[in-house]
Amino acid sequence: MRPALAVSAVTITVLLAGCSVRVGSVSAGVACRNTARVDNSVLVLLAQSVPTAQLIPCIASVPAGWRPAGLHVTNGRASFVVGSDRDGPKALTVALTRTCRITGATAVPSDVAGARRYERPRQVGHGYADDRYYVYTGGCTTYTFDLTGQSRAVPVTEVAQAIRFVQRTEVADLVRRMNDGRVVLDPTPERSPT
Amino acid sequence: MLVFSLLAALSSARLGNRLTRVDHVLLVGIANARTPALTDVCRAVSGLASALPIQILWVGMLAVLVFFRRWRHLVVAIVAMALTNAVTWNIAGVVRRPRPLGVNVLGRWEGFAMPSLPIAVFTALLVIALYCLVPHGRLRQYGKAAATVVIGLVGVARVYLAQDNPSDVLVGIVIGVTVPLVAFRLLVPSEVFPVSYRRRRTAHLEITGLRYQAICQALEAQLGVLPVRIEPFGLAGSGGSTPLRVTVKGDPDSFLFCKLYAANHLRSDRWYKLGRTLLYGGLEDEKAFNSVRRLVQYEDYALRVLHSARLPVPTPGGIVEITPEREYLLVMEFFDGAREIGEVTVDDDLIDQGLRIIRRMWEAGLAHRDIKPANLLVRDGRLLVIDSAFAQVRPSPWRQAVDLANMMLVLALRSDPHRVYRRAEQLFTTEEIAEAFAATRGLTMPTQLRRLMREQGRNLHAEFKKLLPYEVQPIAIQRWSWRRVVLMIAVVFAGFLGVFAVSQILTSPLS
Ligand SMILES: Nc1ncnc2c1ncn2[C@@H]1O[C@H](COP(=O)(O)OP(=O)(O)O)[C@@H](O)[C@H]1O
Ligand SMILES: [Mg+2]
């Protein structure tokens, strides 16, 4: 094998492999509703990452100019990104965890039933945006803004309104319905000892 | 093929759901059998297929392949691993299967479940290791059995901990076996590229089997000599070729010195010249040879020119073709019983001979360009010059001056600068000597010469300069051209790409 050929083969595969990994994960958006075309396994996966969380964040509708831009789910933490060309590729990161640190954040009236809301101002580019926390039974969802565009207030409300929460019970119903009642989301306590 | 039909089947929701139910029954059954002790064991076993152990194994394996210069295996290993990773990720992104449902997941996990990425990567790693590190045959068979057991255990442990569904593990194993297996069977078949643990120098070709026979036949057919023995000779002093001593049948048997050249020598020549262009620019003719034939023709021609200038070089014996355009043998007289100048004591007579050789080359309009201890032999008190690979006709005065300085340095290595300088004054003017040391500096000296001076802990170059009646200004040897600038930019760019690729390769294949 000629070295030049070999080196280029390696470089190309490594680069291609790197890219395809990104494609694979980006294409998955966290849609709230279950339709024929959008199956909601992503929502199920999110619910699995924090098994105690009673509310699961998801994207209700993507506002014009915005797009889901990344999804990373592990045991204990799930996050997804919404971005746009105008306001930054990672304008909003939504992270679901069991708990979160809200020291220094102030409580504000909540717009989500069953969740307390906190905000903490943070410098973003040349302006400010509030990082936002929703704290509820068994979980916490953090909104981190990273806006690069000229204006702040408008895109913040716009993109924040795109995010909704679904009840864990709704996700559980979905799982049960999809499997004719024979598979459930969460184990019943007595059935699986740890 | 198998993988893709599987993929198609899985993304159809109906079958997906049936599979989910089957998996579910198994998982719940296993979860009900959990005990704290078993859980600890399974955590440990499943930990084998986590990022750190996989990275350690991976980097270790790459290191072994680099050490034994098994480049082909190395390249295929990297490609196979990247492909396994990409295939798994992309299928997972399409199938989008959640983690096991209805049971407590005990271990760590990341992303979609089908196919299991840790299992696919772990399996691929073991398969690659078997094909890269374990010699073909019985040993590899045992290895396969062992790998099967290990992968099976890890898979069971992951299912026990409900990190993966049983079917995720199975598909992961299929991918992890298929991708590397196909890559290795196609690109590095064991019959052609056996795994062995002998370390060899890249530039030197092995003279065994088919090549040995081909050389014998070619020597007989083209030179009419009957070789009875071919053996590597003087490898230590060789800079780039594969030097051989051929014993020829006769009464008594005699020797021939041969240098075998192949495509890899052409490549070293190309890299060497690229390096020089980057370091100095178009200082001399840095055009690379574009075929092995031309490379050998050049050296043969140079040897003939040196020979007809009555310099003490081996009598040329012509060129023998082993494989057209690919392998050639340069044949010349063998200096039987000659020793490299570094192994003998250098007296005034040898010093004079060395200096006279340079004078003679100047008169004939030639430069050797590779004067170093390994290229100067001594037999019965006579100094002999070998290796015409770099010799040049009508060189620049600068290059001729460098030859003189290098010869004086070699001679001084085994005697002392005072003596060499005094003898040199008999043959060369002070200006000529001064010019020689002005022209020479670190990089114009052959590597071996530099290394030997360093080992002696002496800066002979400076000592010679001190002997000169006046101070000399070093001659600038930097030449700038667009070609050089463009090449430099290209090299820096390639360097960045390389660093990026290497950092990608060395990170854990799991992340
Ligand atoms: N004609 C010869 N007779 C005996 N030994 C030789 C002869 N030519 C070279 N050698 C030995 O082989 C070694 C390599 O030969 P050389 O022509 O310098 O090859 P390379 O181009 O690879 O440096 C030398 O260092 C010397 O020890
Ligand atoms: Mg040599």
If you average pLDDT over each of A116-125, B230-239, B462-471, which comes out highest? B462-471
| Choice between A155 and A53, residue whose per-residue pLDDT is larger | A53
What values do phi and psi take at B445, rounded to 5? -90, 140
What does the alpha-carbon distance between residue A34 and residue B390 come to, in Å, rounded to a whole number?
75
Q: B21 and A179 in contact by Cβ < 8 A?
A: yes
Predicted local confidence at residue A54, as pLDDT: 93
- In this prediction, residue A105 has a pLDDT band, given cuts at 50, 70 and 90, of confident
Tell whether the model's pLDDT for residue B8 goes beyond 80. no
Q: B86 and A17 in contact by Cβ < 8 A?
A: yes
| Choice between B365 and B265, residue whose per-residue pLDDT is larger | B365
- In this prediction, residue B365 has a pLDDT band, given cuts at 50, 70 and 90, of very high
- Residue B282: burial class (beta carbons within 10 Å; 0-12, 13-18, 19+): middle
- In this prediction, residue A18 has a pLDDT band, given cuts at 50, 70 and 90, of low
pLDDT digits (tens, 9 = 90+) for A29-44: 677 775 544 467 888 8
* Closest to A140 measured CA to CA, from A70, A92, A77, A71: A77
pTM: 0.70
Nearest chain B residue to A182, by CA: B21
DSSP letters spanning B206-220: P--HHHHHHHHHHII
| List of residues 6+ apart from B384 with CB closer than 8 A | B312, B313, B314, B335, B338, B376, B377, B378
If you average pLDDT over each of B136-140, B189-193, B472-476, which comes out highest? B136-140
Mean pLDDT, range A162-183, rounded to an integer? 85
Asked if residue B241 has its Cβ within 6 Å of ligand 1, the reply is yes
| List of residues 6+ apart from A35 with CB closer than 8 A | none
What does the alpha-carbon distance between residue B28 and residue B164 come to, in Å, rounded to a whole number?
13
Predicted local confidence at residue B308, as pLDDT: 96
Domains of chain B in sequence order: 2-198 (no CATH), 209-333 (3.30.200.20), 339-467 (1.10.510.10)
If you average pLDDT over each of B113-117, B212-216, B276-280, B360-364, which comes out highest? B360-364
- In this prediction, residue B476 has a pLDDT band, given cuts at 50, 70 and 90, of confident
Q: Where are the alpha helices (DSSP H) in B96-208?
A: 117-133, 138-160, 166-187
Residues of B with CB under 8 A from a CB of A: 13, 17, 20-21, 24, 28, 31-32, 34, 71-72, 75, 78-79, 82-83, 85-86, 89-90, 92-94, 96-99, 101-112, 267, 497-498, 501, 504-505
| Choice between B160 and B239, residue whose per-residue pLDDT is larger | B160
DSSP letters spanning B119-133: HHHHHHHHHHHHHHH
Lowest average pLDDT, out of A71-75, B195-199, B365-369, B424-428, goes to B195-199
pLDDT digits (tens, 9 = 90+) for B235-263: 877 767 889 999 999 888 999 999 999 88
Tell whether the model's pLDDT for residue B56 goes beyond 90. yes
- In this prediction, residue A194 has a pLDDT band, given cuts at 50, 70 and 90, of very low
User: CB neighbours (10 Å) of residue B400?
Assistant: 23
Share of chain A above pLDDT 70, in %: 75
Nearest chain A residue to B15, by CA: A179
Predicted local confidence at residue A124, as pLDDT: 62
What does the alpha-carbon distance between residue B2 and residue B175 come to, in Å, rounded to a whole number?
9
| List of residues 6+ apart from B376 with CB closer than 8 A | B340, B341, B354, B383, B384, B385, B386, B410
| Choice between A25 and B178, residue whose per-residue pLDDT is larger | B178
User: CB neighbours (10 Å) of residue B358?
Assistant: 26
Q: Which of A175, A179, A180, A188 to mutate to test the interface with B (most CBs of B within 10 A)?
A: A179
| Choice between A123 and A45, residue whose per-residue pLDDT is larger | A45
Predicted local confidence at residue A37, as pLDDT: 46
SS3 B298: helix
Q: A6 and B85 in contact by Cβ < 8 A?
A: no
Q: B108 and A15 in contact by Cβ < 8 A?
A: no
Predicted local confidence at residue A17, as pLDDT: 62
Tell whether the model's pLDDT for residue A179 goes beyond 70. yes
Predicted local confidence at residue A25, as pLDDT: 45
Task: Note if the bond before B252 is cis, omega within 30 degrees.
Answer: yes
Predicted local confidence at residue A27, as pLDDT: 47
Amino acid of residue B133? L
Predicted local confidence at residue A127, as pLDDT: 60
Predicted local confidence at residue A19, as pLDDT: 53
Predicted local confidence at residue A39, as pLDDT: 60
Asked if residue B340 has its Cβ within 6 Å of ligand 1, the reply is yes
Mean per-residue pLDDT of chain B: 88
CA B437 / ligand 1 centre spacing (Å): 27
Cβ–Cβ < 8 Å for A91, A62:
no
Mean pLDDT, range B300-316, rounded to an integer? 96
Mean pLDDT, range B167-179, rounded to an integer? 94
- Nearest CB partner across the interface for A183, out of B21, B94, B96: B21
Share of chain B above pLDDT 70, in %: 95
ipTM (interface predicted TM) = 0.83
Q: Residue B376 region, left (φ>0) first, then alpha (ψ -120 to 50), else beta?
A: beta
What does the alpha-carbon distance between residue B74 and residue B233 come to, in Å, rounded to a whole number?
30
Predicted local confidence at residue A65, as pLDDT: 83
Predicted local confidence at residue B207, as pLDDT: 78
Tell whether the model's pLDDT for residue B77 goes beyond 50. yes
Tell whether the model's pLDDT for residue A63 goes beyond 50. yes
Contacts B497 to A, Cβ<8 Å: 11
Predicted local confidence at residue A22, as pLDDT: 45
Contacts B103 to A, Cβ<8 Å: 187, 192
Predicted local confidence at residue B154, as pLDDT: 96
Predicted local confidence at residue B429, as pLDDT: 94
What does the alpha-carbon distance between residue A90 and residue A34 come to, in Å, rounded to a whole number?
25
Q: Which helix (H) or strand (E) holds A49?
A: helix A41-49
Mean pLDDT, range A59-81, rounded to an integer? 87
